[in-house]
Each structure stands twice: as C-alpha cells, then as structure tokens.
C-alpha cells in the first residue's frame, strides 16, 4: 500500500481538534472528518450530505460527520481549503529545501510538507503514520515563506546528480514529471494562502 500526503485546514478552536490534541479523542476521528470532507468534495453536494452517515455504524464517527457539517454551515469555504500532494510529497520537500535561501526558510518548507509537530503522541492515521499539525501562526509563516518562490527555483534541482542519488519516495527522473510537480507546488502554495487568510491550522495526514 502506498503513501500520500493530504493537507486540510481546520479552525484551531474547533472542539474536535482540541480533543485530539489533549488525548480525549482518537486521532482517527479527525481522519474520519477528513474522509467525509473528501467525500463531499467528490459529490460536490450532488447528493444528500447525510447519505454518508448511512454507511457508518460507529456512533462516534457519525457524530463527527454531524459536527463537520455544522462547521461547514458556518464556513462553507473550508471544504476547499485542502491540498493533495499525492505520492510526490518527498520530492516536493527535497526540491523546496534544496532551494531554501537559509535555515529558517528550510525549516518552514519542511513544516509545509510534514507538519511542525505531532497533533498528539498517540494519534495515527489508518496505516500507522503519525498525524501532524501546524497551528495557525505556523501556517501563516509557511504562507509568507512560500509566497515569493517561483517554481523555476525548484525545477533547477530536478534531475541533478544529487537528486538522482537521493533516496526519495516515488522519485522519477523523467523530465515530464516536472510538469506534475509544478501543479502540486502551485496547489501547495494556494492551500497555505487560503488557510493563512482564514486563520486556520493545518492537519497533515499521511496515509
């Protein structure tokens, strides 16, 4: 089974975020909320938003779906404050950090892909990878660091001897891969712009 990295904006003050951070709730409930949001994006409200509830027997997870709908009622744009980095997250991280002008920027680029901290020491996604988090302040600092970057500064590190020697998940040396990486880079920048403007934190989910 492969690994993909997903980013989702959530308000820091949302009760479920706080409950997972304190260990009161399991991290897989945040993943359940993310799964529900992904389902809603796929349906684009073409079906009853509560239809998803019918395929879930766990009352706690069904309650999470309900509170997620309540969150969307207050802030409908939250549905689209997300990014899918697919299986290219390690390559993106490599290209970003190689192009970093200094150590401070390099750290923020790493946070953009990996999160700055565990949301809770025991919170893991389905495949066992830790669920990570960037608070709203860190999300804003990442946006400020990513904003001025042009993709050309990343692309110059693609295909170099150092790149080819690096052990990176799902790395490709095919030059056509640069076009896909450009699209994911743009999605990453747009995600952090939207999340920062909304004063949201960032859930980083590897699964």
For residues 98 and 109, give the distance between their C-alpha atoms in angstroms, rounded to a whole number. Answer: 10
Please, which pLDDT band fits residue 171 given cuts at 50, 70 and 90?
confident
Q: Interhelix angle for 15-22 vs 28-43, to 10°?
A: 150
Domain boundaries, given as residue ranges, for the chain: 5-206
Q: Provide the pLDDT confidence category of residue 1 given band limits of 50, 70 and 90.
A: low
Q: Which two tokens stand for residue 197?
A: 């403007």
Query: Which runs of E-coded beta strand occur in the chain?
Result: 5-10, 82-84, 117-118, 132-134, 201-206
Cβ atoms < 10 Å from Cβ of 169: 14
> Which tokens sit at 130?
């830790």
Are the CB atoms for 83 and 194 separated by under 8 Å? no
User: How much is the pTM?
Assistant: 0.92
Name the one residue in this structure whose structure tokens are 């904003």: 147
198 confidence band (pLDDT: 50, 70, 90): very high
Report the C-alpha gap between 196 and 187 in whole angstroms. Answer: 14
Query: Which of 19, 37, 38 shows the shortest CA–CA distance to 27?
Result: 19
Contact 199, 138 (CB under 8 A): no
pLDDT at 124: 95
Residue 103 has what pLDDT? Answer: 97
User: Closest Cα to residue 10, out of 119, 155, 165?
Assistant: 119
Indicate whether 147 pLDDT > 60: yes
Number of Cβ atoms within 10 Å of the Cβ of 51: 10
Compute the average pLDDT of residues 179-205: 97
Per-residue pLDDT reduced to its tens digit, 12-70: 999 999 999 999 999 999 999 999 999 888 876 555 777 766 666 788 888 999 999 99
Is pLDDT of 161 > 90? yes
81-133, pLDDT tens digit by residue? 999 999 999 999 999 999 999 999 999 999 999 999 999 999 999 999 999 99
Residues in CB range of 47: below 8 A, 6 or more apart: none
Mean pLDDT for 126-141 is 97
């Amino acid at each position: 089974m492969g690994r993909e990295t997903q980013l989702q904006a959530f308000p820091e003050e949302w009760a479920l975020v706080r409950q997972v951070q304190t260990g009161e709730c399991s991290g897989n409930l945040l993943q359940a909320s993310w799964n529900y949001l992904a389902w809603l994006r796929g349906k684009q409200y073409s079906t009853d938003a509560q239809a998803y509830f019918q395929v879930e027997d766990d009352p706690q997870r069904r309650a999470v779906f309900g509170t997620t709908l309540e969150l969307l009622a207050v802030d409908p744009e939250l549905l689209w404050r997300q990014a899918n980095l697919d299986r290219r997250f390690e390559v993106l991280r490599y290209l970003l950090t190689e192009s970093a002008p200094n150590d401070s920027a390099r750290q923020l680029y790493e946070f953009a892909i990996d999160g700055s901290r565990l949301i809770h020491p025991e919170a893991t996604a389905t495949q066992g990878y830790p669920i990570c988090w960037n608070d709203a302040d860190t999300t804003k600092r990442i946006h400020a660091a990513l904003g001025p970057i042009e993709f050309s500064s990343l692309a110059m590190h693609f295909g170099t001897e150092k790149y080819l020697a690096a052990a990176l998940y799902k790395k490709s040396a095919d030059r056509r891969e640069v076009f896909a990486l450009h699209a994911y880079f743009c999605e990453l920048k747009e995600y952090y712009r939207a999340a920062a403007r909304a004063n949201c934190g960032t859930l980083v989910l590897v699964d």
